[in-house]
């Protein structure tokens, strides 16, 4: 509780204290006395999102959303719903609340806080469930691997899409691993539909994985046939235009078709000519292929052996790993799409890759040397992404904002938003 309060008041000092503690206790065993510490990490990344400052020349999803939020001034929530042709009501509520706070930077705070709280919660929960004892150094390495290849800047500035995917993944984790099959789990699974229309794809993948017990090779064929399937769905899109979900599904298919065939001009050309985008695409592809190989080499192999012995599945042989496998395959299937579809699906595998790596380490101690090499590679990418962030935002002002930020200011703005709504 004291550490949580300290992080609320002084996030920068807390981050520094955590790093000092990690390096001073590098080889000691990692104990989780309370999983509430995941909130500290979520808050640290939330404050980073809150502190991000962009120059006037930079345009990304987040800066466009800032303008959209400002345009909502004076509008009622019912009017905002009526104006939303895409029927993304969860997005509307989120933007409406942020507008009422009077500070658009509450949006990246909320996004960063939710995403990274979930990432670290699942990391700590997976370690707690593991039969293997993990050292502090190994936990630190797992965290770096999860956040390095795709930087927090990229994740947070994307705003809606990755947040929706992470919420769905968390719902599946609660349902499959924790056996929490309640209204909250169902809500986390369904509500992202009204946050980003493409989340329907992730929901369908998760739904399919609930009924498939093996790492089916069919998914490889589906991934290779992705463009054909999108074209087929688009040619029959009018048949989906039913009820409430219909328009959202129609919108998701139309957008998928649009991004698939957007090969030149505007953002597509900019991505194609971007060194950083091509580097991230290359590195991300290598990482996904590595994850797929690990699943086939270790997870599937050990699953078959243990099922013969125990005739039942344990936690790590659950369908959650199967879900990450399907997402990895699907992301590779999006490589032909020049715009952001690939890395958005890739982000789920990257953020939750510790689930797979913990299982591999638990059952194959010899993997530790390769795990350390993977960490060193990801640690290098971490610094590459710092350079990328320095190019795409006012980095010095962002760091200054981060240093002076404290929880009272954010708390007061949140309370202000709630009061204005009431």
Tell me which of 55 and 68 has the higher pLDDT. Answer: 68
Instruction: Tell me what pLDDT residue 47 has.
Output: 94
Instruction: Tell me what pLDDT residue 261 has.
Output: 60
135 forms beta bridges with 29
Token pair, residue 70, equals: 């400002």
Please write the tens of the pLDDT for every residue from 256-265: 666 666 555 5
Query: pTM for the whole thing?
Result: 0.89
Token pair, residue 405, equals: 């930020």
Q: Quick one: average pLDDT of 375-393?
A: 85
Say which range, 41-55, 109-123, 288-302, 303-317, has the weakest mean pLDDT.
303-317
Say which range, 115-129, 236-250, 273-287, 331-345, has the weakest mean pLDDT.
236-250
Instruction: Tell me what pLDDT residue 45 has.
Output: 94
Instruction: Tell me what pLDDT residue 326 has.
Output: 86
Residue 150 · residue 345 · CB < 8 Å: no
pLDDT band at residue 71 using 50, 70 and 90 as cut-offs: very high
- Tell me which residue of 165, 125, 153, 171 sits closest to 45, measured CA to CA: 153
Q: Angle of helix 38-51 relative to helix 407-421, nearest 10 degrees?
A: 80
* Sole residue written with tokens 């300290």: 6
Residue 313: pLDDT above 90?
no
Q: Supply the mean pLDDT for the chain.
A: 82
Residue 353 · residue 120 · CB < 8 Å: no
Say which range, 37-41, 84-88, 214-218, has the weakest mean pLDDT.
214-218
């Amino acid at each position: 509780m004291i550490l949580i309060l300290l992080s609320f008041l002084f996030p920068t000092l807390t981050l520094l204290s955590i790093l000092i503690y990690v390096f001073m206790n590098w080889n000691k065993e990692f104990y989780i006395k309370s999983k509430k510490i995941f909130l500290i990490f979520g808050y640290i990344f939330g404050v980073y999102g809150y502190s991000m400052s962009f120059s006037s020349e930079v345009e990304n999803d987040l800066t466009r959303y800032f303008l959209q939020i400002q345009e909502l001034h004076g509008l009622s929530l019912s009017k905002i719903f009526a104006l939303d042709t895409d029927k993304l009501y969860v997005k509307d509520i989120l933007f409406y609340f942020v507008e009422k706070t009077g500070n658009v930077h509450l949006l990246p705070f909320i996004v960063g806080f939710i995403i990274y709280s979930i990432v670290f919660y699942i990391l700590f929960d997976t370690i707690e469930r593991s039969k293997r004892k993990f050292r502090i150094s190994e936990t630190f390495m797992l965290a770096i691997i999860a956040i390095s290849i795709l930087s927090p800047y990229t994740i947070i500035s994307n705003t809606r899409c990755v947040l929706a995917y992470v919420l769905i993944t968390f719902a599946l984790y609660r349902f499959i691993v924790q056996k929490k099959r309640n209204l909250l789990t169902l809500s986390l699974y369904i509500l992202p539909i009204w946050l980003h229309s493409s989340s329907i794809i992730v929901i369908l993948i998760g739904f399919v994985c609930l009924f498939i017990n093996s790492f089916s090779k069919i998914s490889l064929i589906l991934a290779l046939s992705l463009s054909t399937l999108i074209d087929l769905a688009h040619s029959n899109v009018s048949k989906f235009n039913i009820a409430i979900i219909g328009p959202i599904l129609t919108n998701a298919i139309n957008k998928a078709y649009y991004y698939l065939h957007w090969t030149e001009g505007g953002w597509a050309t900019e991505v194609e000519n971007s060194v950083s985008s091509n580097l991230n695409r290359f590195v991300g592809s290598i990482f996904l292929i590595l994850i797929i190989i690990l699943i086939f080499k270790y997870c599937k192999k050990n699953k078959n052996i243990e099922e013969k012995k125990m005739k039942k599945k344990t936690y790590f042989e659950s369908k959650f790993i199967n879900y990450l496998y399907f997402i990895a395959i699907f992301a590779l299937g999006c490589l032909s799409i020049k715009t952001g579809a690939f890395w958005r699906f890739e982000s789920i595998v990257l953020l939750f890759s510790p689930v797979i790596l913990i299982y591999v380490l638990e059952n194959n101690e010899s993997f530790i040397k390769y795990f350390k090499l993977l960490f060193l590679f990801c640690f290098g990418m971490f610094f590459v992404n710092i350079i990328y962030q320095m190019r795409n935002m006012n980095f010095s002002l962002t760091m200054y904002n981060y240093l002076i930020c404290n929880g009272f200011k954010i708390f007061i703005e949140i309370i202000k938003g709630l009061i204005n709504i009431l």
